[in-house]
Structure 1
Amino acid sequence: MKVLVTGATGFVGRHLVAALLARGCEVRAVARNAETAATLPWINDVEFIAADIHAADLDIPALTGGVDALAHLAWPGLPNYQALFHFEHNLMADYRFIKSAVEAGVSQVLVTGTCFEYGMQSGPLTEQSAPQPSNPYGLAKNTLRLFLENLQKVQPFTLQWARLFYLHGEGQNPNSLLAALDRAIDAGDATFNMSAGEQLRDYLAIDTAADYLAAILQRRDFNGLVNCSSGQPISVRTLVEQRLRERGASISLNLGHYPYPTHEPMAFWGVAERLQQLLGGNHEA
């Protein structure tokens, strides 16, 4: 199986490329920055193309020629979830790119969505939960999905929409919680400022998430939505305390220093039953 991965040098993309290679897939990796790509361990094992997928002069038939599936991860501007350019620019640019890829003959498309498509809903979230996006990023992603589902009626193709929850690991945003905690530990800080930590979230290691996405791609008959999540809620405080134990670190948690974020409910997590059903099937390279 040959997969075209956009956003291949991003946080998720770099790990998905590695997961696909580990499963015996061929990979055509696309990203804007060739210098970043050159630093990644898989660079000599893929066909790498430096390109901006939103460029008006991009030769999409040439880019997609010979691939079995497109894994579309590229999405500029994160983690600024409130920025209007998510739907003013990314939404239509991504739709045009994917539409052109399908018209060029790509029959299977996996797109990474986001738990923010569910908005401020609390508790366990299933794929049947009605989307209620409450920030521009979630709105743009959910609208792209609706656009592509309508495109399927005119130009049939398989659409695999994987909603990502909270991912952590190598390459994550340096301002994210665990990255900031690791920096504080490495610096020998006596205290770590955080919220009260009572909010419940769905956290997943990036290596695990990337392998899930690779497995979904290999289930070529699957069309539809799937939560890419652990299915296990954990409090932010518990997550931090687990990391401290893993690192053998002693640091005082300054709980309540930061207020709870207003763009997220206090408790939500993904129900992972559909994902586990997919993973239980036979994976074919």
Structure 2
Amino acid sequence: MKILVTGATGFVGHYVVQWLVDHDYDVVATATSDEKAKKFAWYDSVKFVACDYYSEEKNFYEFFGEPDILIHLAWKGLPNYMMRFHLEENLPAEMRFLRSFAETRKTKIVITGTCYEYGVVNGCLSEDMPANPTTVYGVAKDTLRRYLSFLAGEYGFSWNWVRLFFLYGKGQSPKSLLPQLDAAIERGDTEFPMSGGEQLRDYLLVEKVAEYVCRIALQDAMSGVVNCCSGKMISVRQLVEERVSELGAEISLKLGVYGYPAYEGMAFWGDVSRLHEVIDDA
């Protein structure tokens, strides 16, 4: 079985590739930079193909060696959630890319989506809830999901849309919350400015996210949307406090410096019933 992973050098992607390599799958990995890919331990265990599919038009199914499964993680321009290029530039390129696999009827297509597709809602979010995104990124992703569903209806291939919630772990963007905290501690800062920290969020370690993405991709029991998350909530303040304690650091939290994003609910987490049903069958 040949598995193509896009965005292979990204935060989630390089963990997905490593999980597949560790489990002896035939992996074709792709991203835009061969030099970046060479830094990962899995490089010599996969076929790496440098490609910018946004700027190229070809039969990508044939170009990547006719994969049995596509795990599509790539997306440009994050975390600029409100920028129009998600719709105007990214979405058309994504549609072209997926169509070359869909038309073969031979490749299972698995794509990562986002909890931002749900919009500004609170509580436990299930896959059966209507999508109501309020960010340009969320609208673009949800539109791609609908397009994928239409393609699947037309061509009859298997697919999954894996909605990610909040991730953390080694290799995360330095602009993310915990890496910023780690950097402040390393600098010897006495205070860490942040929001009030009252938001309740669903966080999951990136290694576990990668495992779930792979196991969803490898199962045949269920097509459609699957939440990929912990199913538990933790306040942002508690998350930060636990990190400070873990590192044994002496730094005070300066709460309320930043406001809460208008495009997020204050307290939400994912329903993991479908996730566990799927991965138990994988």
Same fold (TM > 0.5): yes
Structure 2 unmatched runs, 5+: none
Alignment partners' CA distance in 2, 1:210 and 1:61: 23
Kindly, what percent of the aligned residue pairs are identical? 47
Residue 206 of structure 2 corresponds to 206
Alignment partners' CA distance in 1, 2:139 and 2:176: 22
Residue 264 of structure 1 corresponds to 264
Residue 223 of structure 1 corresponds to 223
- 1:174–1:180: 8 Å Cα contact kept in structure 2? yes
Q: Which amino acid aligns with 1:280?
A: D
Residue 86 of structure 2 corresponds to 86
Residue 166 of structure 2 corresponds to 166
Following superposition, the deviation at residue 273 of structure 1 comes to: 1.1
Question: Could you tell me the TM-score, scaled by structure 1's length?
Answer: 0.96
Q: Which amino acid aligns with 1:255?
A: L
Following superposition, the deviation at residue 214 of structure 1 comes to: 0.8
Q: Which amino acid aligns with 2:245?
A: R
- 2:68–2:106: 8 Å Cα contact kept in structure 1? yes
- Number of residue-to-residue matches in the alignment: 282
Following superposition, the deviation at residue 105 of structure 1 comes to: 4.8
Residue 249 of structure 2 corresponds to 249
Alignment partners' CA distance in 1, 2:59 and 2:280: 38
Alignment partners' CA distance in 1, 2:233 and 2:61: 43
Q: Secondary structure at the match of 1:11?
A: coil
Measured against aligned partners, the alpha-carbon deviations of 1:235-262 in whole angstroms (never above 9, x if no partner) come to: 0000001111211112100011111122
Measured against aligned partners, the alpha-carbon deviations of 1:183-229 in whole angstroms (never above 9, x if no partner) come to: 11111111100111011011111001000111111113321110001
Structure 1 unmatched runs, 5+: none
- 1:191–1:253: 8 Å Cα contact kept in structure 2? yes
Alignment partners' CA distance in 2, 1:48 and 1:60: 14
Residue 8 of structure 2 corresponds to 8
Alignment partners' CA distance in 1, 2:271 and 2:219: 20
Q: 1:196 to 1:278 in 2, by over 3 A?
A: same
- 1:60–1:104: 8 Å Cα contact kept in structure 2? no
Residue 113 of structure 1 corresponds to 113
Following superposition, the deviation at residue 83 of structure 1 comes to: 0.7
Matches within 5 A, 1:13-24: 13-24=13-24
